[in-house]
């Protein structure tokens, strides 16, 4: 599969919910959140939007400032200790309502962009030897774009995975090993205590390993109907993140809800944007784009997102993308990736 590319000066954003979790932690440790924001030089007004986004650079500044003010090198562990669904925005509620732990972990790579924008990191779920491995991979392109690696952020994410996993299963979830890319802090005892397994630093990756039989652990708040609703909401959030103010982004965003209705025509898209087809066509030409090119690109990207969702059959994916028949989707997919949807899904 092609690698993720990132523009040199691209600003990555993070779900505001993740930053708010850090504010809750430092306040519990005795540091007023207003003081943290002030010292990190972040305007408190930015936190008013419940579904807002936080620049990645601001999140890193918050972690580093929190460390300087509290002196707590175990800050990332405290972040993950009481991780709850709202830590991960709508993704957290989709995870919570899954059938079992395997289904929940499988959603993380699929909808990770809700928490962290594409371009900085990826989440990988696979196997290593006889164990399951869940890894958070910071992309090489991130450093070239001036996006820093943050020890505390990596620790907070793995700790929140462990803490949230324990909460949604109401069990201990014993781990085999935890690995961190960065070097060890002066005191590693809090890490051994929190994860209750060997913790390796300077290990070449950020990952946790555990036995495969844990994947069958049922989730105490499993709810199939609510889970489907949360997945739909997650897809809409991602569609909004892909949107913007330019005509190309507007058209791509408008296409998503029209695809399942088989209404991805120039007329329907223009009407949804409040303009005539002629006006929309002219603006697209001025932007160096074509309507059919954008439709094809949008379907291509969404096909990869939907096929990663094990709850969707190939026919479901075809219908979500606006194809009247599965065979039409299969032909288009072969043109995009030189393989069938089923083969691509097996190899993902």
Write the pLDDT tens digit of every residue in 239-255. Answer: 777 655 568 777 887 88
Assess if residue 333 is contained within a domain: yes
- pLDDT tens per residue, range 76-103: 999 999 899 999 999 999 999 999 999 9
Is residue 29 within 8 Å of residue 67, measured between CB atoms? Answer: no
Structure-token pair, residue 307: 């096929």
Task: Tell whether 21 and 106 lie within a shared domain.
Answer: yes
Residue 125 lies in a domain: yes
Q: Any bridge partners for residue 209, and if so which?
A: 133, 177
Asked if residues 95 and 164 have their Cβ atoms less than 8 Å apart, the reply is: yes
252 and 201 in a common domain: no
- In angstroms, how far is the first alpha carbon of the chain from the final one? 9
What confidence score (pLDDT) does residue 165 get?
Answer: 96
pLDDT 10s digit of each residue in the chain, 348 long? 333 333 334 467 899 999 999 999 999 999 998 899 899 888 776 665 555 788 888 899 999 999 999 999 999 999 999 899 999 999 999 999 999 999 999 888 888 888 988 778 888 888 888 899 999 998 887 777 778 899 999 999 999 999 999 999 999 999 999 999 999 999 999 999 999 999 999 999 999 999 999 999 999 999 988 888 888 888 878 777 765 556 877 788 788 888 988 999 999 999 988 889 999 998 888 877 889 988 998 898 888 888 877 778 899 999 999 998 999 999 999 999 999 999 998 876
Look up the CATH number of the domain holding residue 298. Answer: 1.10.10.60
Q: Is residue 106 domain-resident? A: yes
Return the pLDDT at 162.
97
The whole-number pLDDT of residue 1 equals 34
The answer to whether the beta carbons of residues 101 and 171 sit under 8 Å apart is: no
Q: Are residues 156 and 270 in the same domain?
A: no
**Domain assignment present for 338:** yes
Residues 258 and 303 in one domain: yes
157, 89: one domain: yes
User: Do residue 35 and residue 119 come from a single domain?
Assistant: yes
Domain shared by 161 and 275, yes or no? no
Among 91, 107, 99, CA closest to 308: 107
Residue 297 pLDDT? 87
Encode 242-262: b = buried (16+ Cβ within 10 Å), e = exposed.
beeeebbebbbbbbbebbeee
Residue 231 lies inside a defined structural domain of this protein: no
> Last residue of a domain, which of 199, 216, 233?
216
Say if 192 falls within a structural domain: yes
Nearest by Cα to 341 from 312, 314, 306, 321: 314
Mean pLDDT of the residues in the chain: 87
Do 151 and 253 lie in one domain? The reply is no
> What span, in angstroms and rounded, lies between the C-alpha atoms of 141 and 147?
9
CATH number of the domain bearing residue 95? 3.90.1520
Give the model's pLDDT for residue 145.
Answer: 73
Element (H, E) at 4: none
With respect to residue 233, please indicate whether it lies within any of the assigned structural domains: no
Distance CA 294, CA 276 (A): 18
Question: Which structural domain, as residue segments, surrounds residue 209?
Answer: 13-216
Round to whole Å and give the CA distance between 294 and 252.
7
Neighbours of 264 (CB within 10 A): 21
My answer on whether 124 and 247 are in the same domain is no
Edge-first strand order for the sheet with 177-179 is 121-128, 131-138, 206-211, 177-179, 199-200
- DSSP sequence for 268-284: HHHHHTTS-HHHHHHHH
Domain count across the chain: 2
* Same domain, yes or no: 253 and 114: no
Q: Is there a domain that residue 275 lies in?
A: yes
Same domain, 249 and 212: no
Q: Both 191 and 286 in a single domain? A: no
Question: Cα(110)–Cα(307) distance, rounded to whole angstroms?
Answer: 9
């Amino acid at each position: 599969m092609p690698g993720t590319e990132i523009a040199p000066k691209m600003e990555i954003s993070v779900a505001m919910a993740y930053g708010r979790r850090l504010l809750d932690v430092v306040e519990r440790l005795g540091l007023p959140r207003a003081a943290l924001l002030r010292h990190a030089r972040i305007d408190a007004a930015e936190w008013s939007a419940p579904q807002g986004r936080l620049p990645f650079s601001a999140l890193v500044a918050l972690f580093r400032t929190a460390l300087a003010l509290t002196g707590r090198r175990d800050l990332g562990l405290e972040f993950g200790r009481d991780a709850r669904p709202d830590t991960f925005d709508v993704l957290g509620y989709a995870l919570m309502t899954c059938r079992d732990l395997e289904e929940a972990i499988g959603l993380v790579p699929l909808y990770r962009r809700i928490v962290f924008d594409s371009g900085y990191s990826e989440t990988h779920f696979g196997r290593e030897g006889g164990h399951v491995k869940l890894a958070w991979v910071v992309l090489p392109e991130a450093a070239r774009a001036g996006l820093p690696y943050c020890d505390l952020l990596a620790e907070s994410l793995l700790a929140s995975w462990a803490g949230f996993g324990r909460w949604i299963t109401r069990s201990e979830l014993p781990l085999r090993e935890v690995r961190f890319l960065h070097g060890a802090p002066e005191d590693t005892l809090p890490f051994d205590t929190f994860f209750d397994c060997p913790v390796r630093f300077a290990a070449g990756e950020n990952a946790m390993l555990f036995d495969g039989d844990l994947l069958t652990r049922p989730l105490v708040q499993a709810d199939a109907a609510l889970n489907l609703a949360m997945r739909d909401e997650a897809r809409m959030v991602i569609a909004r993140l892909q949107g913007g103010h330019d005509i190309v982004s507007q058209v791509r965003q408008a296409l998503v809800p029209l695809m399942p209705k088989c209404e991805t025509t120039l007329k329907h898209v223009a009407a949804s944007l409040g303009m005539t087809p002629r006006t929309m066509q002219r603006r697209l030409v001025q932007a160096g784009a074509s309507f059919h090119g954008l439709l094809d690109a949008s379907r291509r990207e969404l096909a990869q997102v939907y096929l990663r969702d094990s709850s969707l059959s190939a026919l479901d994916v075809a219908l979500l993308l606006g194809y009247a028949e599965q065979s039409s989707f299969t032909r288009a997919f072969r043109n995009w990736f030189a393989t069938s949807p089923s083969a691509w899904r097996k190899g993902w």
